[in-house]
Structure 1
Amino acid sequence: MGIGSVGGLFCMNNGSWISGFNKTMEIADLLQTEVWGILLGLRLAWENGFEKVLVQSDNKEAIKRLNATKSDSDPCILVRTITKLRNRGWMTDAQWIPREVNKFADRLAKLDNLPNYDVIIFSQPPECLLSLLDFDLLHSL
């Protein structure tokens, strides 16, 4: 096991910032890291009363497993946990996106908060990422 981090952001349909998160954790592999990030993001979305959530990830295997018809019997307990969470009274979808489109979430995951293992919530985009967010907003229009 190694130490890694996960991160993500919540945006409106037009790409404007709602909030973001980051967490350092012990991880085994890239798929596990991605699925942990998705689980954490969905838990935060549920706790904050979001009714519609589009999960986007640049990890094809994670999205494939989350969208599988038998995801509730996936060998990975994290995938099964996400499936149970997605089956609550809200709408969720999971979609693969290219890595180039996922730069902001990737940078949030890589923010250095070692050795803090708590979830860090960003109500505003971290200043070091503002130019990247502006770039993403311009190119999503």
Structure 2
Amino acid sequence: MLTDKRPIENNILKPIISFNSFGIGLYLNIDGSVRLEDGSAAAGGIVRNRNGEWVTDFNRLLGSCSVFEAELWGILDGLNILIDQGLDNVLIETDNLEAVTTIKESLTGRSNSTLIGRILKLLYQLHHWNICHIPKEDN
């Protein structure tokens, strides 16, 4: 019988966060954008293996929202795809520092954002993950 060795705090299962790239199985690169002319937004991303080879990609038209919200939708969609395909051990990379900061801060407290809550719920299903900010030109 397998047991989950993740720590539990206040009856909440905490994720094991991998803070280095050793052992990372997948990279999830996210990008959200908003067109200035009409405010229409889109989000998308790509999943690559540790060798940088394409695994899958996705995109979504969002209507009208902020760049921050578009980035969060991209993260949510990417995590849903990973979990649906039974994939784990992922480094999430985004050029939106606000998204990274908000998600990390929400791990230790509560968020009023339903979108952040849905992302956290998915992150708790992964055994090893990390989220980090990368420069726009590297994303």
Same fold by TM-score, threshold 0.5 exceeded? yes
Aligned to 1:33: 70
Structure showing the higher strand proportion among its residues: 2
Q: TM-score, normalised by structure 2?
A: 0.67
Secondary structure of residue in 2 paired with 1:68? helix
* 1:92 aligns to 2:123 (yes or no): no
The answer (yes or no) to whether the contact 1:27–1:33 under 8 Å persists in 2 is: no
**Which structure 2 residues correspond to residues 1-141 of structure 1 after superposition, within 5 A?**
2-68=39-105, 70=107, 73-102=110-139
Structure-1 separation of matches of 2:45 and 2:123: 17
> Aligned residues, how many?
102
**Once superposed, which parts of structure 1, at least 4 consecutive aligned residues long, lie more than 6 Å away?**
none
Structure-2 separation of matches of 1:64 and 1:4: 21
The answer (yes or no) to whether the contact 2:90–2:130 under 8 Å persists in 1 is: yes
Q: TM-score, normalised by structure 1?
A: 0.66
Structure showing the higher helix proportion among its residues: 1
Shift in CA distance, 65/71, structure 1 to aligned 2, threshold 3 Å: farther
Give 1:28 shift: 1.7
Shift in CA distance, 89/98, structure 1 to aligned 2, threshold 3 Å: closer
Structure-2 separation of matches of 1:101 and 1:59: 12
Shift in CA distance, 7/69, structure 1 to aligned 2, threshold 3 Å: closer
Structure 2 stretches lacking a partner, 5+ long: 1-37
Structure 1 stretches lacking a partner, 5+ long: 103-141
Shift in CA distance, 71/29, structure 1 to aligned 2, threshold 3 Å: farther
Secondary structure of residue in 2 paired with 1:92? strand
